[in-house]
Amino acid sequence: MMRSGLFLLLLMTVLAGCNRPGQTAGTQASEPPGEVVLISVDRPGKWRQYWHGEGGPYSPMEVVLSWRDDDGIRREWRPGERSDTLVIPTERPLVEITHTNRAIDPLRFYLESGDTAVFTYPEKTPVAAIVNRKESPEITNLDLTFRRRIYGGDFPDDIKLTQPFAFVDFSKAAPPDFQKIVDQFVAETAGKALDGLDRQAQFLDSLYQNELVFDPVYTIRSRILRVQKNALLADERIRSMVPEEEAPVILDSYAIYFETLARAISAKKDREFRDGIPVIKTPNGSYQDFRILYDRVGESQDFKPWELKYLLRETLEGIVVNFPATDIEQYFSKHLAGLRDTVFVDYLKEKYRIDLASREDLVLLDERQQPTTFAELLAQNKAKVIYVDFWASWCAPCRQAMPESHKMQEAFRGKDVVFVYLALNDRYESWQKAVKEEGLEGYPYSFLIENPKTAKMLEDLEVNAIPRYLIYGKDGRLAHRNAPGPGEEARRLMLGL
């Protein structure tokens, strides 16, 4: 009875802010203009989301909106970089816009073709308003409605389960106890997470029955909630505590345009190929051999044609991220021969700055985006010892070593020693921000690698993981291809050259 009363109260609140059928949501123009317009107003700058008090662990935050274009390719927009208005061409009746809130909480907004949505940021929370038709703010911002009315403004418990680092303070625990602490957190949170998803589904059903939410939004959101619940029940720890089985979810070719549903397609692949694919281990983690996985997925008879295309695209990007140019070229050719998917191959080439025709020297960009090459850098610093630091804005161990690197620079000040910082697999904007934060702004030997996927030097030196360090002697030759990180041992080696 208490549960029913709660949902009646929530429903009455939403009813008060909604227009009745005939005035409202779901009403589409007879000739949709084939676009969705996003407007960002007064977006906040970059900031830190602290998890256990200021000064402790944090996640970097910035305003990023994402969606899938009509080719099924994930796109991103960072307002303010070029314009505060974005026009998304589309022939689809509905577009899902995802906007991450508080670093780890994806909020979904559903816009019809022809819609213009204005995003504002009260207290850094993204709030959307549709300006071309009448729709209750509670419905437009339904994920925020769920969070306020079901979770009291807190994170949903299923988010907490997937991101325990943000909610469990490990600062006073010893590393051997970390897993025990996480398992205890899962045990305490699993039931609440499943219950919260059920309450969202019940509230959504009430809105649909009262004609406040319409198809296809209702069907999509219902499937998303079921996929989220299945993902929790797939965890053996949770399944052992909750006597409930996963429920089938209907997925059609439209699923690839919605992030959570697309992940359900990926989960299907993961279940089928959980075993039998070699795992490659690196200092920064491990991953399946995407080359073998691509071949196995392509040979499988268990996927529908649209699923197969999505999964091969996903696996091809894994090859691009983790393997050298020779493999990239081979699998680009295989992908084009099998699917004729030039759109996605061109997208990967642009995203990862891949030029298969240029595979010799390492091309570097300085802060002004002026190019040079590593060979030119060596020539400019003849008769000097060169310490090369491969790093990236996203690499925590790399950045933790920066203070010691600055100490080394001071120790060698006035000597024939040059410190070179090369950002690998980074975005220009993220690299620029990190350069300022790490005290490298204006430093003449700080560069962004322009051709990380095709430079033969990186392939020859097997620079597959970072941080990675090289030391060149005064004769211009590579003296240490796996040099120690900043510290006493590196100083000793450099003094001996």
| pLDDT averaged over every residue in the chain | 88
Q: How confident is the model at residue 248 (pLDDT cuts 50, 70, 90)?
A: confident
Cβ–Cβ < 8 Å for 453, 356: no
User: Does the predicted TM-score (pTM) go above 0.75?
Assistant: yes
Tokens for 366? 């300085």
Is residue 134 classed exposed, middle or buried when 0-12, 13-18 and 19+ CB atoms within 10 A define those classes? Answer: exposed
d(CA 32, CA 442): 50
Q: Which residue has the tokens 């071949």?
A: 295
Say whether pLDDT at 358 is over 70: no
Whether a cis peptide bond, with omega within 30° of 0, leads into 126 is: no
Say whether pLDDT at 13 is over 50: no
d(CA 493, CA 490): 5
What percentage of the chain reaches a pLDDT higher than 90? 67
d(CA 312, CA 349): 16
pLDDT of residue 492: 92
Is the pLDDT higher at 200 or at 281?
A: 200
Say whether pLDDT at 15 is over 60: no
Ramachandran region, residue 425 (left: φ > 0; alpha: ψ -120 to 50; beta: rest): left
Say whether pLDDT at 282 is over 90: no
State which H helix or E strand residue 365 sits in. strand 363-365
pLDDT of residue 330: 96
Say whether pLDDT at 28 is over 80: no
pLDDT of residue 55: 78
Q: How many residues does the chain have?
A: 497
Looking at residue 274, its amino acid is R
d(CA 407, CA 388): 15
| 32-41, 150-159, 191-200: least confident range | 32-41
pLDDT mean over 297-316: 97
pLDDT of residue 32: 52
pLDDT tens-digit map of 398-453: 999 999 999 999 999 999 999 999 999 888 888 998 999 999 999 999 999 988 88
pLDDT tens-digit map of 167-217: 988 877 777 788 888 889 999 999 999 999 999 999 999 999 999 999 999
d(CA 108, CA 90): 18
Say whether pLDDT at 233 is over 70: yes
Q: How confident is the model at residue 95 (pLDDT cuts 50, 70, 90)?
A: very high
pLDDT mean over 80-108: 91
pLDDT tens-digit map of 444-482: 999 999 888 888 888 888 888 899 999 999 999 999 999
pLDDT of residue 322: 85
Say whether pLDDT at 9 is over 70: no
pLDDT of residue 10: 42
d(CA 237, CA 239): 6
Helix, coil or strand: residue 337: helix
Name the nearest CA neighbour of 199 among 273, 134, 146, 129: 146
Q: Which residue has the tokens 């041992």?
A: 489
d(CA 416, CA 419): 10
pLDDT of residue 359: 62
